[in-house]
Amino acid sequence: MSEPAPKAAQPWLYRLIEPDGRPSLRRRLLSSLLVPLMVLLVIEGLVTYSGALFYANHVHDRDLADDATTLAQMLSQEDLGGQISPQARFLLEYAPEGHNYFSVTSQRHGLLAGSAELQPAPLSAASMDGEPALFSTFVYTPSQKRRELRAATVRIPNLRDPSDQLTVTMAETLHDRHQQAREILLLSIPAQAILIASVFVLVLYGVRVGLRQLDPLTARLAAREHDLAPIGDADVPVEILPLTRTIDGLFARQRGMLALQERFIADAAHQLKTPLAGLRVHVERAQADPSKETVDDALQHILRLTQRASRTSSQLLALTRAQSPDMGDSSTHCLLDLAQLVPELLGLRVHDAIAASVDLGYEGPAGPVWIDGDRISLQELLDNLIDNSLRYAGRNSIVTAGVSVVAGGACLSVEDNGPGVPPAFLERLGERFFRVPGITEEGTGLGLAIVQRIAERHHAQVHYLASSGGGLRVEIVFPSARTSKVVG
């Protein structure tokens, strides 16, 4: 199990919500909800302010247009000649916050009343019929302050001069509009904050209640001692099914490892019992009769039994490695050329073949024969096949290792011209501790079982056949190579 990352390497948010460095699912769930809720509150405030400002603009634009239309109607109904009384000017320019502006301009005579800096907007044909045109622009007031104004403009005929037209413009600052939008926002924020806080409390309660669904599973696992049975999906929430299924997979691997260990202990006890009993017998015989002949004979038997026990333990360890789950890890496989690998490995066994008076040879194609495999385990596979042939084929026999290309893959074969195996026992050659009845040569019955397990790890098939010379032929058929890179 990996250690938690140091606090300095963790994100600042996790260090904030997990100050003790221990991960908490509850705290992370709440923090993942709290941050979006805060962002949602900010977004909601912006949307509320935009909506309030839009509404304030609509109301003020309508009032501004009404003021411009009213002034235009007053000028058109009375022959004022564009003159505005001081009292009317005060009312037109007065605003509780800020300042209002107006102007009355003649098409022929220019400005008649109001602010000269206020420029009327270009009017369409509809505006000439009395409909106001609204616009937004920047003007400079007499105090030289830059202000943004919203104006409504309407055009009416000049009663004193029928050939002339008057343009009436009413304008105001945007201060009141923004002020009203801010007031609406301030009124809505508390209600929104209360709503979000209520949602957060409900989420907190929901997370707490939801995590309680894990209590039965926790209690069930805590009640176990050495039980590695699968957890199952009965009372497991859907969200953590991947976790429990991963744990079930781990339990399955642990059961396999425990079964492998128990099998190894049982096999070791079974196979080492006879050599150890023989050692004890010959030691007691040497102690009972200390004569040189008896001691020498006992030492010869002890040496032979020790070699047998050593070979048995080596074979048991090899079988355990072949059955280990780690052996099936495809990450250790690489692209191997059997036509190059097999002759190299056979060269290491030449001295053993000479000592056993066996003619050891090789047959294979000139070109490469690629498979996906692990070099070390394939060496152990070939060594066990060669050992089996050297031990049981007999002296002056011929053993041939071959490599060939077959449909859908590659074939590694080891063939001898020894006494062979009766057809009734060929199918049992891959079983642990199986030895063909009637064979007098010493052996553990594990060599071909190791070959069988290593072949299974490589997704290969093992075939036990009678050779053309009357002996035994073992074929290992590997699937086609799938990797695309040669790993040295």
Handedness of CA 359, 363, 368, 369 (dihedral sign): negative
Query: How sure is the predictor about 414, in pLDDT bands with cuts at 50, 70 and 90?
Result: very high
Query: How sure is the predictor about 487, in pLDDT bands with cuts at 50, 70 and 90?
Result: very low
Flag whether pLDDT at 110 surpasses 80. no
Query: How sure is the predictor about 19, in pLDDT bands with cuts at 50, 70 and 90?
Result: low
Q: Which CATH number fits domain 331-479: 3.40.50.300, 3.20.20.70, 3.30.565.10, 3.30.428.10?
A: 3.30.565.10
Q: Supply the mean pLDDT for the chain.
A: 75
Q: Where are the alpha helices (DSSP H) in 348-411?
A: 350-355, 375-392
Model pTM score: 0.45
Flag whether pLDDT at 29 surpasses 80. no
434-469 exposure pattern, b = at least 16 Cβ within 10 A, e = fewer: ebbeeeeeebbbbbbbbbbbbbbbbebebebeebeb
pLDDT tens digits for 95-106? 555 567 777 777
Average pLDDT over residues 234-246: 75
Query: How sure is the predictor about 218, in pLDDT bands with cuts at 50, 70 and 90?
Result: confident
Contact 174, 150 (CB under 8 A): yes
What's the confidence (pLDDT) of residue 97?
A: 55
What's the confidence (pLDDT) of residue 94?
A: 55
With a pLDDT cut of 90, the percent of the chain lying above it is 6
Query: How sure is the predictor about 33, in pLDDT bands with cuts at 50, 70 and 90?
Result: confident
Residue that wins the pLDDT comparison between 208 and 145:
208
Average pLDDT over residues 103-130: 64
pLDDT tens digits for 450-485? 888 888 888 899 999 888 878 899 999 999 887 544
What's the confidence (pLDDT) of residue 362?
A: 92
Q: Which two tokens stand for residue 99?
A: 């300042």
Which fold would CATH assign to domain 238-322? Helix Hairpins (1.10.287)
Flag whether pLDDT at 43 surpasses 80. yes
With a pLDDT cut of 70, the percent of the chain lying above it is 71
Residue that wins the pLDDT comparison between 352 and 312:
352
The domains of the chain are located at 1-223, 238-322, 331-479
Contacts of 410 by beta carbon, 8 Å cutoff, 6+ apart: 338, 369, 370, 371, 403, 404, 477, 478, 480
